[in-house]
Amino acid sequence: VTADAATCAPCRAETLDPSNRRYGYPFTNCTHCGPRLSIVRRIPYDRRHTSMAAFPMCADCAREYEDPLDRRFHAQPNACPACGPRIWLETPDGERTEGQGDAIDAIRSLLRQGRILAIKGIGGFHLACDATDEAAVRRLRERKRRYEKPFALMAENLAVIARYCRLEPAEAELLASPAAPIVLLRASAAERVADSVAPGQASYGFMLPYTPLHHLILHELGVPIVLTSGNVSEEPQCTDNLEARRRLGGIADAIVQHDRDIVNRLDDAVARVIDGRTQLLRRARGYAPAPLSLPEGFEQAPRVLALGGELKSTFCLLRDGQAVMSQHLGDLENPAAYAAYGEAIALYEGLFEYTPERLAVDLHPDYLSTKLGRERGAQADLPVNGVQHHHAHIAACLADNGVPLDAPPVLGIALDGLGFGADGGLWGGEFLLADYRQFRRLAAFRPVPMPGGAQAVREPWRMAYAYLRGAGDCAAWARRYAHLPYFEYLRTRPTVVLDQALEAGINCPVTSACGRLFDAVAAVTGLRQAVTYEAQGAMELEAAVDAGSLDERPDETGYTFIIERGKSLWHLDAKTLWPALLDDLDRGVPIGFVAARFHAGLTQALAKLIRELTDAHDNPWQGRVALSGGVFQNAVISAGLRRRLEASGFEVFAHRQVPPNDGGLSLGQAAVAAARAVAARG
């Protein structure tokens, strides 16, 4: 079973050719393209085991299917208007208004009128509207209850995308690849879509049409459309027709249905090109379940099933030197996502005839994936390996870069939101001497309390308060800089209660997470006091960076950090950055420059710490540095740190096919557990 592939050029041409028998047919496909994982129920992969089983081939299609010289030879989902699935348009209560013949015209005219459509796709339903229609996009946000998180866009072709974004060759290639991911592209000033598409962002997530239905809808439409997952807020996207009426009927003005079942839910994949290098941020449709070849040394590794993390969850089946990673399955705390996660594990075990010999889980005792793995281990009497979160991040990066199992250790830099530490603390800014088997923590960001615990993640102003209190006389700053938006906001907050909690250490767990520093800076600069989606503060801070501003003011560089050389652990401390940052804001320095100085300062500090660690420890990592964790989705940090390190002679491993965020954890867990098992066997 392979990954679903975007409509190939010949199939697209046939669909748009009035003389072809597949003219206007939304399910045209061939051996090179079409649905795969999304329609399969079990192996062997042939039509009777897919949701195409309900559609017996007509004589014409059967002839193509049997002909070794035909492009559709043994194309399991082969179909045509005479025998295959059909679309129709219906009202939100399920009353059919247009059949296949008229549906496309009706869909296009509804989009032009600013209506919101639910559209059944390959891996799930989407919600769509004209991306240039501000009122329509706003209506969609309100109905979907997704107020700020950027919406993905789809455009007919690269020429349309180029009107809105700066497009590098590697980005164009990625957009047009068979996986057809959403690619994050720098917005250019030439033309803009509606402001509500991506508030606070400097980039748009664009994809190209990847089914004939998309091609038919977008053909000469002239404008991009929003194409976002068909769900309310953070739930998994709908896949079933009745469910779509129930859950999306209140959001969409009309529903585009079809009668081929979506067996496996697949979200759109997300990728970004940083300095010419592709980095997957969400591994999903178009990528899963393609196996990744593991590096040398993993050939004899046992079959490890790794259960991943909690947010952006995936799992991974390791065997015979290969790793099969699942598609992105979302936040397991959501009951529907957790159910889908369990089903997907069973499906993959069936598809790959896989029985694990051991399990790997995160050390966090409350992750649902950890609990599931531990239960299963107990029931099936299988060993369960706990793998520290940031060690798993680094191991995933090593596997992603083909580093052999027995290679010498690297210096792993794992920067993310939060992960369970080996000491039970909340880590997330870690410098680890690591190989696949083990790690030693050499340095970390100076821990800072999170006032209110998880609430401090949702409300960056709390993190900012904790940072400022730890860095100097916060009360004096609040008076001196009273006019700054952050301190104005702070006056409306219960800081007395916070002071008490911080002094008594009540519900104030400390964390070394780098992601929390981004939140704090986003709050103090006035960009973001409370978030509506994960990492919003960090994303908006990156978006705010005025990249050219540092070149324009060469004598002012990044904010400074302090490196503290502790006996057993070094710390990177941000306390010196705050007075400089507040002073900049007070002088009216533009946010774009402040954000640039923060990014430059952090990049310089990371590079300096890496150089000093390398000297102090006598370089056991032989100049090899691995970068992982969600913070490395930040292109300014990723590209900047790579350039600095390479200029100092380091070899840098960054993520490619596997996300640097928690979507990559399962691969790292599997690699660590496998390496330990190989070592134990001697």
Name the minimum Å distance from CB 513 to Fe ion: 9
The minimum distance between CB 568 and Fe ion, in angstroms, equals 24
**Is 668 a residue that touches Fe ion (CB under 5 A)?**
no
61 binds Zn ion (CB under 5 A): yes
Rounded Cα distance, 447 and 429, in Å:
9
Pairwise CA distance, residues 373 & 309, whole Å = 11
- What are the two backbone dihedrals, phi and then psi, of residue 68, each rounded to the nearest 5 degrees? -60, -20
Q: Could you tell which of Zn ion, Fe ion, none binds residue 82, using a CB distance below 5 to 8 A set by kind?
A: Zn ion
* Only segment of 365-373, 419-427, 542-550, 603-611 that touches Fe ion (CB under 5 A): 419-427
Residue number, 54 or 82, with CB nearest to Zn ion: 82
Q: What secondary structure letter does DSSP report for 39?
A: G
Buried b (16+ CB within 10 A) or exposed e, 576-597: bbbebbbebbeeebebbbbbbb
Q: For residues 342 and 346, what is the distance between their CA atoms, to the nearest angstrom?
A: 6
Residue 17 Cβ vs Zn ion, minimum distance, rounded to whole Å: 14
Question: Hunting for tokens 């309900």 — which residue is that?
Answer: 54
The 3-class secondary structure across 261-299, one letter per residue, is CCCCCCCECEEEEECCEEEEEECCECCCCCCEECCCCCC
* Cα gap 89→84, rounded to integer Å: 17
Instruction: Kindly list the distances between the CA atom of residue 401 and the CA atoms of 292, 323, 327, 628, 648, in Å, as whole numbers in the listed order.
Output: 11, 13, 20, 12, 20
- Which of 46, 63, 66, 82 touches Zn ion (CB under 5 A)? 82
Query: Closest Cα to residue 537, out of 456, 604, 629?
Result: 456
Q: Which of Zn ion, Fe ion, none is residue 61 near (CB under 5 to 8 Å by kind)?
A: Zn ion
The least CB distance from residue 161 to Zn ion, in Å, is 22
Distance from C-alpha of 536 to C-alpha of 655, rounded to nearest angstrom: 22
Helix/strand/coil for 46 = coil
* 668 contact, one of Fe ion, Zn ion, none, CB 5-8 Å limit per kind: none
For position 519 contacting Fe ion by CB under 5 A, the verdict is no
Total residues found in the chain within this entry: 682
How far apart CA 659 and CA 393 sit, in angstroms, is: 9
**Could you tell me where the DSSP H helices lie in 36-76?**
59-66
Binder among 13, 83, 232, 363 for Zn ion (CB under 5 A): 83
| Beta carbon nearer to Zn ion, 13 or 382 | 13
* Token pair listed for 4: 């679903």
Neighbours of 189 (CB within 10 A): 7
Nearer to Zn ion, 33 or 131 (CB): 33
Query: Which residue in 24, 35, 236, 419 binds Fe ion (CB under 5 A)?
Result: 419
Among 296, 288, 254, residue whose Cα is nearest residue 128: 254
Of 650, 150, 74, the closest CA to residue 412 belongs to: 650
- In the list 13, 16, 32, 349, the residue contacting Zn ion (rule: CB under 5 A) is 32
- Least gap, CB of 137 to Fe ion (angstroms): 31
d(CA 307, CA 264): 18
Among positions 400, 416, 430, 459, the unique one binding Fe ion when judged by CB under 5 A:
416
Task: Tell whether residue 33 is a contact of Zn ion (CB under 5 A).
Answer: yes
* Residue 268 interacting with Fe ion (CB under 5 A): no
- In the list Fe ion, Zn ion, none, the entry touching 8 (Cβ below 5 to 8 angstroms by class) is Zn ion
Give the interface segment with Zn ion, choosing from 53-61, 482-490, 635-643, 652-660 (CB under 5 A).
Answer: 53-61
**Binding of Fe ion by 81 (CB under 5 A):** no
Q: How many CB atoms lie within 10 A of CB 663?
A: 30
For residues 40 and 387, which CB has a smaller minimum distance to Zn ion in the complex? 40
Residue 662's binding partner out of Fe ion, Zn ion, none, with CB under 5 to 8 Å set by partner kind: Fe ion
Taking the complex as a whole, the smallest distance from the CB of residue 108 to Fe ion amounts, in Å, to 42
150 touches 244 (CB < 8 A):
no
Residue 384 binding partner per list Fe ion, Zn ion, none, with a CB distance cut-off of 5 to 8 Å that depends on partner kind: none
Q: CB-wise, 416 or 573, nearer to Fe ion? A: 416
Residue 419 interface partner, choices Fe ion, Zn ion, none, CB cut-off 5-8 Å depending on type: Fe ion
- How many residues touch Zn ion under the rule CB under 5 A: the total is 10
* Residues 636-665 interacting with Fe ion (rule: CB under 5 A): 662
CB of 422 to Fe ion, least distance (A): 14
Distance CA 559, CA 542 (A): 15
With CB under 5 A as the rule, give the number of residues binding Fe ion: 3
**Which does residue 11 bind out of Zn ion, Fe ion, none, counting CB within 5 to 8 angstroms by kind?**
Zn ion
Minimum gap (Å) between residue 24 Cβ and Zn ion: 14
Q: Indicate the residue among 75 and 456 with the shorter CB distance to Fe ion.
A: 456
Kindly state the smallest distance separating residue 103's Cβ from Zn ion, in Å.
Answer: 19
Which positions touch Fe ion (CB under 5 A)? 416, 419, 662
Q: Which residues bind Zn ion (CB under 5 A)?
A: 8, 11, 30, 32-33, 58, 61, 80, 82-83
